[in-house]
């Protein structure tokens, strides 16, 4: 009798394991310390909200997520990524704010047949010649937002432009992007030291001397806060209007709103983007965290939803890598931007909008969409990808 009961228990346990599946393990690499930690926290908050809305399960399986702090340094990001892949044996790795950190960590993931879901950084090499079947983005390729801004500058009759950006992979891609579409003359360009340089007074003096029609900048995180403060103090705004990408967001607006109201930028997303998934995301985020989300959080939220869509497609059995890869490519879920359609390099083909800093009905600074600039846009490096 005892043997029969024991056998029945073993069968029940085995059956339960088949239906429940093994736990899904996700590693998430971002910056949680240093002055850039506020971005990483927002990314983590976006991922956590998604998991809450999924009841902490994917395809019937429990989810374990391991957050790692890259310390804003490529070498640390690479070490933490290696730990997640080899020691923690995660099924997916996600996150990555910075292009130079992602580039250092990239091969550690994809070459070990682990799926990498990039939540922010989109360097051109990964979109092109170094694309990989195991990499998917839920953001954009670095050039794209800047290419949209180039079109905005053309539409607004800007003929003479001054450019400022940090001298690292993303900064170079952003500058290449705006130059790719802007039809006027670039009368000056400064690539500032990154991340060391936070004083832009010398460069702003050069802008004043050049007398451009507009100044375009890319300065994410604390660099953007410092730049906006110094731009305001310089009184350049009355003569040289500012256009930017990723310099102003819902993380920095509580500190820079008075300097940034009315500022224009280009993005794939804003809190007022009218999709069911985005309403669910923004409302849920504000309820859980009592603040507006930034695009960093939106992209991280989508990363979790993309992984969930793939795990559901394979009924929780992620051992078949080809099936999981096909499911990720299909992206059968409603993104905050609507439906995701992937290009051959696994970057989204998507719309980009002109957005503006406003005050909402409660007097809180945020961003809203003004109009669409690019429709179903694919990055310019996809043709170099051999997937």
What is the C-alpha separation between 152 and 157, in angstroms, rounded?
9
* Tens digits of residue pLDDT in 4-33: 444 444 444 433 333 456 899 999 999 999
Same domain, 181 and 307: no
pLDDT of residue 21: 64
Same domain, 251 and 206: yes
How many structural domains compose the chain? Answer: 2
Same domain, 21 and 40: yes
Paired sense of beta strands 135-137 and 264-267, if any: unpaired
Mean pLDDT, the chain cut into blocks of 10 residues (387 residues total): 44 39 92 96 98 96 98 98 98 98 98 98 97 98 97 98 96 96 98 97 98 97 94 93 94 91 95 98 98 98 98 96 98 96 98 97 97 98 96
Same domain, 135 and 13: yes
Same domain, 101 and 208: no
Same domain, 79 and 11: yes
Same domain, 323 and 258: no
Same domain, 81 and 153: no
Same domain, 311 and 286: yes
Tell me which residue range forms the domain holding 254.
143-267+352-384
Residue from 44, 143, 148 nearest 97 by CA = 44
Q: Are 163 and 186 in contact (CB under 8 A)?
A: yes
Same domain, 11 and 81: yes
What is the C-alpha separation between 122 and 142, in angstroms, rounded?
5
Same domain, 128 and 152: no
CATH of the domain at 229: 3.40.50.2300
* Tens digits of residue pLDDT in 236-277: 989 999 999 999 999 999 999 888 999 999 999 999 999 999
Same domain, 204 and 180: yes
Record the pTM.
0.91
């Amino acid at each position: 009798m005892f043997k029969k009961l024991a056998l029945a228990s073993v069968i029940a346990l085995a059956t339960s394991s088949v239906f429940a599946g093994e736990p899904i393990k996700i590693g998430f690499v971002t910056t949680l310390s240093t002055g850039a930690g506020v971005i990483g926290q927002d990314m983590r908050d976006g991922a956590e909200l998604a998991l809450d809305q999924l009841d902490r399960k994917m395809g019937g399986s429990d989810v374990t997520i391991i957050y790692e702090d890259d310390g804003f340094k490529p070498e640390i990001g690479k070490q933490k990524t290696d730990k997640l892949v080899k020691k923690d044996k995660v099924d997916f790795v996600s996150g990555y704010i910075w292009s130079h950190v992602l580039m250092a960590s990239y091969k550690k993931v994809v070459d070990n047949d682990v799926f990498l879901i990039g939540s922010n950084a989109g360097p051109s090499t990964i979109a092109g010649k170094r694309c990989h079947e195991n990499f998917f983005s839920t953001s954009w390729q670095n050039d794209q937002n800047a290419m949209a801004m180039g079109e905005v500058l053309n539409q607004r009759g800007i003929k003479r432009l001054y450019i400022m950006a940090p001298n690292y992979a993303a900064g170079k891609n952003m500058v290449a992007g705006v130059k790719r579409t802007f039809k006027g003359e670039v009368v000056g360009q400064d690539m500032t030291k990154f991340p060391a340089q936070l004083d832009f007074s010398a460069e702003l003096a050069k802008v004043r001397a050049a007398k451009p029609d507009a100044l375009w900048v890319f300065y994410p995180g604390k660099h953007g806060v410092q730049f906006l403060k110094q731009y305001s103090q310089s009184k350049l705004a009355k003569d040289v209007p500012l256009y930017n990408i990723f310099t102003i967001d819902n993380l920095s607006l509580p500190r820079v709103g008075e300097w940034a109201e009315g500022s224009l930028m280009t993005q794939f997303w804003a809190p007022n983007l009218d999709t069911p998934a985005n309403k669910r995301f923004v409302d849920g985020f504000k309820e859980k965290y009592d603040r507006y989300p930034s695009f960093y959080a939106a992209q991280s939220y989508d990363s979790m939803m993309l992984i969930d869509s793939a795990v559901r497609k394979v009924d929780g059995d992620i051992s078949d890598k080809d099936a999981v890869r096909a499911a990720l490519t299909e992206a059968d879920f409603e993104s905050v931007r609507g439906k995701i359609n992937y290009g051959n390099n696994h970057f989204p083909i998507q719309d980009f909008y002109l957005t503006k800093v406003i005050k909402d009905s409660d007097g809180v600074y945020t961003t809203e969409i003004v109009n669409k600039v690019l429709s179903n846009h694919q990055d310019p490096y996809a043709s170099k990808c051999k997937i």
